A and B are shown apart, each in its own frame.
Chain A
Amino acid sequence: MNRIVAPAGIFLLLVLGACEREERAFRADPIATETEEKIALVPLSPGSGPPVEHRTGKGKEYEDNAYHVAQGKRLYTWFNCNGCHSNGGGGSGPPLMDDRWIYGGQIENIVQTIREGRPNGMPSFRGKVPDDQIWELAAYVRSMSGNVAKDVAPGRNDDMHPRPAENREPDSPPVAGGSIPPSAEMPQ
């Protein structure tokens, strides 16, 4: 008897465990609220030790959740992000599938980038896109470079196959270098 129950129990545990990738709060925060992330844009901080940062944990909540990442993928096209960043390879905006992050590659950095905009062409979407959707977008952007779990990242598109699917993307954690700084692009 036990011989049947034990594997079945383990199997059930595994199945239920996999549901975590779907677990989420059903009521999103009010549209106008913003989390207070204490995040640095650079690894440089005088003296020994990295910059002082404090994350609220919201980033992980979104990044580890298949529903949020899938919603982010839908919104990425919906809000015309793909018009500038294409399917991650970039266009008028920089690529999002590589390991170079001009304004930081952590999800909190990406949320800030979408909210506040960046000086060389990234518009500010504060007040235009609800805050939880900004987090979903940022979570999806992380998946484009393989920086979310494979069982969370979206599979291949039903449409034109422009690039390997997000869940097949090799991990490429942000590298703090390799980009030409704006100061090298134009005379001061």
Chain B
Amino acid sequence: MPTKNYAGTRYSELAEINTENVKNLQVAFTFSLGVNRGQESSPLVVGGTLYVVSPYPNILYALDLTQPGAPLKWQYNPKAMAASQGVACCDTVNRGPTYADGKIFFNTLDAYTVAVNAETGEELWKTKIGEINMGETMTMAPLVAKDKVLVGISGGEYGVRGFIEALDANTGRSVWKAYSTGPDQDVKIGPSFKPFYDQDKGKDLGVATWPPSAWQQGGGSVWGFVTYDPDQNLIFYGTGNPGPWNPNQRPGDNKWTAGVFARDLDTGEARWYYQWNAHDLHDWDGINENILVDLTWNGQPRKVLVHPDRNGLLYIVDRTTGEVLSANFYHAVNSHTGVDLSTGKVKVVADKYPVQGRVLRGVCPTAPGAKDWSPSAFSHKSGLLYIPHNNLCMDWESMEANYIAGTPYVGAEVRSIPGPGGHMGELSAWDLIQGKEVWTINERFPVWGGVVATAGDLIFYGNMEGWFKAVDARTGEVLWQFKTSSGIIGQPTTYRGPDGKQYVAILSGVGGWAGSIVSGDLDPRDGTAALGFVNAMRDLKNVTTKGGTLYVFKLP
């Protein structure tokens, strides 16, 4: 699976490539995906086969690793509707396939979940999850746990009503479905729901914390990575921003958007919930990864989840109760002053509260947040968390948004600007116990892809200029780098090949929200293009071009 394990650590025990020999890393083979859009996906290796899925039209390729040059074994084209590209907010990305029990599962942009025979490429089932005419698309990587495939809907910029759904892995039939807004019954909140904070207790808060009927198009999409704790039989996932972005149109806490749910895998019943950003002000989806780690906290063993949020805070949450143990800033923030640990609420700075028709200047962090979807890795060896993130601020003006089903529902003009220091991205190593940064690497552009940590004390990641890098996990020293054909926004994979050797794989191909100026041929003269990201990314066109290539590296 793209997250490497249920805990989502993205930590590999492979240590053949280490800090000493990584400088010799060289290209083993490459493969063109034939689609020049943002490559946010993760190559997946099962046995002797490498699977990779392209951005729209979401073609799944299987490469035979047992043969020299890894020739194509088969390809499967789900023939997703071309029109779905028009309701995908931020490039036509896909975040990866996943494997279980002889099947490859992935989602298509036109909102189907597909299961394919991993040996033959034959379609086993295909289930419609959402409706593109309502603005619903799918971009996330499914998680398979026991016999269930967990998938969620994208479309937080189109006024969708977000949900997560569990499908039977063998048949594709729906087992349960839980919405992110609306009455308790729809949200699957029942007697077993025991949130830690008072703000999350009460009846039908998914209705009561909204203006009348606004929850019906209230967002809370589910498009990040899902993690699973087998001991508690709980899944953890975040919910997206409330719709529209303009907060003046939706007074209230807007439950259950921009938070994290713990649900029973078998029934979907919610166990607890915590809202990262009540009444979200700046498009801060709560979908960033929840990595499951067992820590010794103040002398006590605690089962926690670790979550770097868009709001610039690194949360450590007790995953059995939903109690926030700590929340420290990993990014320069001026729009709030952190969390009040007694109530669980973020303390908002009053003059950064958007008022309709007024331009707020220099709000930090920006709409994509201190960190967007780009998944972190946790190394059990170094004990550090490696966070790929942004360094961006913005100007923001709230405007009235009209809800027209299937069209954008945003209501904000945004211009992103580089954060303090002028660089726009960072890879930071974070000490969870001390609650502070150990080292950081500044990047010119946002670090929009994922990270892999290995037992060889290496961290792999790529930047939007196209460099794929190996970094010393303890010092942050760049030990090796290779310039790929296009900017990197993908998730690296490391695997042991059929020949017993360790390989590292990455997709190169710029795009995503940050890179859509290149992948979507946008006009840099309009700073508000791509929901305001273009303002900061004007130079990207001079640095890289579109691409779609898999690179695989090995030692000589």
Q: Which residues of A contact B (CB under 8 A)?
A: 77-80, 82-84, 86-95, 97-98, 100, 117, 119-123, 159-160, 162-164, 179-180, 184-187
Q: Inside 8 A of B406's CB, which chain A residues have their CB?
A: 123
A69 to B522, CA, bound (A): 23
Contacts A80-B408, A84-B86 given; indicate if A180 touches B521 (C-beta within 8 A): yes
Q: Distance (Å) between the CB of A175 and the closest chain B CB?
A: 14
* Complex interface residues of chain B between 16 and 49 (CB less than 8 A to chain A): 34-37
Q: B539 an interface residue at 8 Å Cβ cutoff?
A: no
Give chain B's interface residues, CB within 8 Å of chain A: 34-37, 54, 56-57, 59, 82-91, 157, 357, 359, 395, 397, 399, 401-402, 404, 406-410, 413, 415, 516, 520-531, 534, 546
Top 10 A-B pairs, shortest CB-CB distance: A83-B408, A121-B86, A89-B526, A89-B529, A187-B34, A95-B523, A121-B85, A80-B407, A162-B528, A89-B523
Given contacts A83-B157, A186-B35, contact A163 B521 (CB under 8 A): no
A180→B406 CA distance, assembly (Å): 27
- 12 A-B pairs besides A83-B157, A121-B84, A160-B413 with CB distance below 8 A are A79-B402, A82-B408, A89-B527, A90-B526, A91-B520, A92-B86, A97-B525, A120-B85, A121-B85, A159-B357, A159-B359, A162-B413
23 pairs across A/B with beta carbons < 8 Å?
A77-B399, A79-B404, A80-B409, A83-B408, A84-B86, A86-B522, A86-B526, A89-B522, A89-B525, A90-B526, A91-B89, A92-B516, A95-B529, A97-B525, A119-B82, A122-B86, A123-B406, A162-B527, A162-B528, A179-B521, A180-B36, A186-B34, A186-B56
Nearest-Cβ distance from residue A66 to partner chain B, whole angstroms: 22
Partner of B88, one of A88, A89, A92: A92
* Residue of B with least CB distance to A164: B525
- State how many angstroms separate the Cβ of B234 from the closest Cβ of chain A: 35
Whether B82 pairs with A95 at a CB distance below 8 angstroms is no
Bound form: Cα–Cα A120–B54 in Å: 17
Candidates B397, B408, B521; contact of A84 at CB < 8 Å: B408
Cβ–Cβ contact A121 & B529, under 8 A: no
Chain A positions within 8 Å of B415 at CB level? 160, 162
Q: Chain B residues near A82 (CB, 8 Å)?
A: 408
Task: Check if B523 sits within 8 Å of A98, measured CB to CB.
Answer: yes
Majority secondary structure, A binding face: loop
Residues of chain B contacted by A80 (CB below 8 angstroms) = 401-402, 404, 407-409
Whether B528 contacts A120 by the Cβ 8 Å rule is: no
Which of B89, B90, B359, B407 makes the CB contact (< 8 A) with A79?
A: B407
Q: Assess the A92–B35 pair: CB atoms within 8 A.
A: no
Expressed in whole angstroms, the Cα–Cα distance for A86 and B34 within the complex equals 28
Q: A83's closest neighbor in chain B, by CB?
A: B408
B85 touches A91 (CB 8 A): no
Q: When the two chains form their complex, are residues B409 and A83 in contact, meaning their CB atoms are under 8 A apart?
A: yes
Bound together, the chains give a CA A180 to CA B521 distance in angstroms of: 9
Contacts of A184 in B (CB 8 A): 36
Question: B524 to A121, Cβ gap below 8 A?
Answer: no
Hey, which chain B residues are within 8 Å of A89, CB to CB?
522-530, 534
A172–B415 alpha-carbon span in the complex (Å):
25
Which of A83, A88, A160 contacts B523, CB < 8 Å? A88
Of A92, A164, A186, the contact of B520 (CB 8 Å cutoff): A92
Would you call A92 and B521 a contact (CB within 8 A)?
no
Question: Which residues of B have CB within 8 Å of A87?
Answer: 413, 526, 528-529
**Smallest CB separation, A165 vs chain B (Å):** 12
Which residue of chain A has the shortest Cβ distance to B57 in the bound complex? A186
| Contacting residues, chain A, for B408 (C-beta < 8 A) | 80, 82-84, 92
Q: Is the CB of A91 within 8 A of B522?
A: yes
Contacts of B524 in A (CB 8 A): 89
Say whether A187 contacts B82, CB under 8 Å.
no
| CB neighbours of B86 from chain A (8 A) | 84, 92-93, 120-123
Chain B nearest CB: distance from A69 CB in Å?
18
Q: Is the CB of B57 within 8 A of A160?
A: no
Q: Could you tell me the distance between the alpha carbons of A23 and B527 in the complex, rounded to whole angstroms?
A: 34
In chain A, what residue has the closest Cβ to B534? A89
Q: Cβ of B409: which chain A residues have Cβ within 8 Å of it?
A: 80, 83
The winner among B34, B59, B399, B521 for most chain A CB atoms within 10 A is: B521
Across the two chains, which residue of chain B brings its CB closest to A145? B523
Contacts of A88 in B (CB 8 A): 523, 525-526, 529
A98 to B522, CA, bound (A): 9
Complex alpha-carbon distance, A86 and B523, angstroms: 10
Contacts of B395 in A (CB 8 A): 160
Distance in angstroms between the alpha carbons of A84 and B529 in the assembled complex:
9
**B531 contact set on A, CB distance < 8 A:** 86, 91
A181 to B1, CA, bound (A): 34
Contact, CB under 8 Å: B82 / A121: yes
Measured in the bound complex, the distance between the Cα atoms of B85 and A187 in whole Å is 16
- Nearest Cβ in chain B — how far from A155, in angstroms? 17
The reply to whether B397 and A90 form a contact with Cβ atoms under 8 Å apart is no
Contact B399–A159 (Cβ < 8 Å): yes
Contact residues in B for A94 (Cβ distance below 8 Å): 520-522
Report which residue of A86, A119, A164 has the largest number of chain B beta carbons within 10 angstroms of its beta carbon. Answer: A86
* A86 CB, nearest partner CB in chain B, Å: 4
Closest chain B residue to A117 by CB distance? B83
Closest to A85 in B: B529
Q: Are A160 and B528 in contact (CB under 8 A)?
A: yes
| A84 CA to B158 CA, complexed, in Å | 10
CB B346 to nearest CB in A, in angstroms, measures 25
A92 lies within 8 A of B85 (CB): yes
**A187 partner residues in chain B, CB cutoff 8 A:** 34-35, 59
Chain A contacts for B82, CB-based, 8 A: 119-121
If A92-B90, A94-B520, A159-B357 touch, whether A123 touches B529 (CB-CB below 8 Å) is no
| Residue in contact with B87 in the complex, picked from A92, A98, A180, CB distance below 8 Å | A92
* Chain B residues within an 8 Å CB radius of A117: 83
Cα separation A91 to B535 with both chains bound (whole Å)? 12
Contacts known (A88-B523, A185-B36); A159 close to B397, Cβ less than 8 A = yes
Chain B residue with Cβ nearest A178? B521
Q: How far is the CA of A90 from the CA of B532 in the complex (A)?
A: 10
| Other-chain residue from A83, A95, A186 in contact with B526 (beta carbon distance below 8 A) | A95
B361 to chain A, nearest CB (A): 10
What's the least CB distance linking A7 to chain B, in Å? 42
State the Cβ distance, A57 to closest chain B Cβ, in Å.
Answer: 31
Contact A163 B410 (CB under 8 A): no
Q: How far is the CA of A100 from the CA of B35 in the complex (A)?
A: 21
The docked-state distance in angstroms from the alpha carbon of A80 to that of B546 is: 28
Shortest distance between the CB of A3 and any CB in chain B (Å): 49
Contact B34 A160 (CB under 8 A): no
